[in-house]
Amino acid sequence: MQAAAVGSESVKKRGFLSFYTKGEEIFNAVSHIAGGGLGLIFWAALLALSYPDPMAMTAVSLFGFGAVTLYTMSALYHFLPDGRAKGVFRIFDHCTIFLLIAGTYSPYCLVALGGTAAGWIVFGLQWGCAIAGITMNAIAMNNKVVKAISMALYCVMGWMALAVFPQLYAALTAAEFWLLLAGGLAYTVGIVFFALGKKVRWFHSVWHLFDIAGTALQFASILLILL
């Protein structure tokens, strides 16, 4: 019996079994289906505003692709029944977090800070970190060292804007800046709920709502940059 329990826990850690109740998983899936739908709307709106500037269109497409991909992979992971496919989509779910962070930075680096050394350096660092994080998680997501590095990367990537704070503050209007900051704070507060999500019922679901809020706030900031 003890061996069976240990085996079941091992399988759960690999993501083949749900960490959450059925009700939570339904909410988790539906909330991020909504997030994916919003991502498509955001992407289309930003593309329309950035046309015909190729740099701006590329930048907003990286943001839109990151948002749509993350919310789609997350919704599928939470929607799928227990089994190997759920484990695979859990990996996709975690990998696409890096896409969203780097994608969100892209309009700020290539449009707001366009043509500056600071913009290109942060852009390169963001996508370098994203590629490293995706590679590590694809190979060994459940490794404790990889988990620790991933959490560190999320935080470093998320708040890398502090390294170019003077340039970014000068390039943005007050509304653009405060919407960017509010989105970052929404993501950061959400991490608390994410960290406790496997211990406190519905906390993971609350984290989903903070994610969507963060994406929406930063979309609004990017929208104003393009207007």
- Show me where the domains of the chain are located: 20-226
Report the distance separating Cα 78 and Cα 24, nearest Å.
9
How does residue 107 score in pLDDT terms, banded at 50, 70 and 90?
Answer: very high
Residue with tokens 């290539």: 110
Query: What pLDDT shows up at residue 15?
Result: 52
CATH architecture of the domain formed by 20-226 = Up-down Bundle (1.20)
**What's the mean pLDDT in 59-81?**
97
The whole-model pTM stands at 0.91
Which string of DSSP letters, residue by residue, matches 92-127?
HHHHHHHHHHHHHHHHIIIIITTTSHHHHHHHHHHH
59 contacts 109 by C-beta, under 8 angstroms: yes
Please name which of 84, 81, 70 lies closest in space to residue 18, comparing C-alpha atoms: 81
Residues in the chain: 227
Query: What pLDDT shows up at residue 16?
Result: 66
Residue with tokens 């701006």: 56
Report the distance separating Cα 89 and Cα 91, nearest Å.
5
pLDDT digits (tens, 9 = 90+) for 26-48: 999 999 999 999 999 999 999 99
Least confident of 2-16, 91-105, 131-145, 208-222: 2-16
* Summary mean pLDDT of the chain: 92
Residue 143 in 3-state DSSP? Answer: coil
Query: What pLDDT shows up at residue 10?
Result: 44
**What's the mean pLDDT in 46-69?**
98
Among residues of the chain, what percentage have pLDDT more than 70?
93
Local structure of residue 21 (DSSP, 8 states): -
Query: What pLDDT shows up at residue 225?
Result: 98
| CB atoms closer than 10 angstroms to residue 161 | 19
Among residues of the chain, what percentage have pLDDT more than 90?
86
Report the distance separating Cα 226 and Cα 64, nearest Å.
14
Query: What pLDDT shows up at residue 170?
Result: 97
**What's the mean pLDDT in 79-92?**
94
Report the distance separating Cα 174 and Cα 157, nearest Å.
23
Q: What is the dihedral of CA 199, 204, 206, 210, to 10 degrees?
A: 130
C-alpha distances (whole Å) from 137 to each of 51, 80, 134, 207, 220 are 35, 20, 5, 21, 30
How does residue 2 score in pLDDT terms, banded at 50, 70 and 90?
Answer: very low
Query: What pLDDT shows up at residue 87?
Result: 92
Q: What is the dihedral of CA 105, 72, 197, 4, to 10 degrees?
A: -130
How does residue 4 score in pLDDT terms, banded at 50, 70 and 90?
Answer: very low
**What's the mean pLDDT in 87-99?**
96
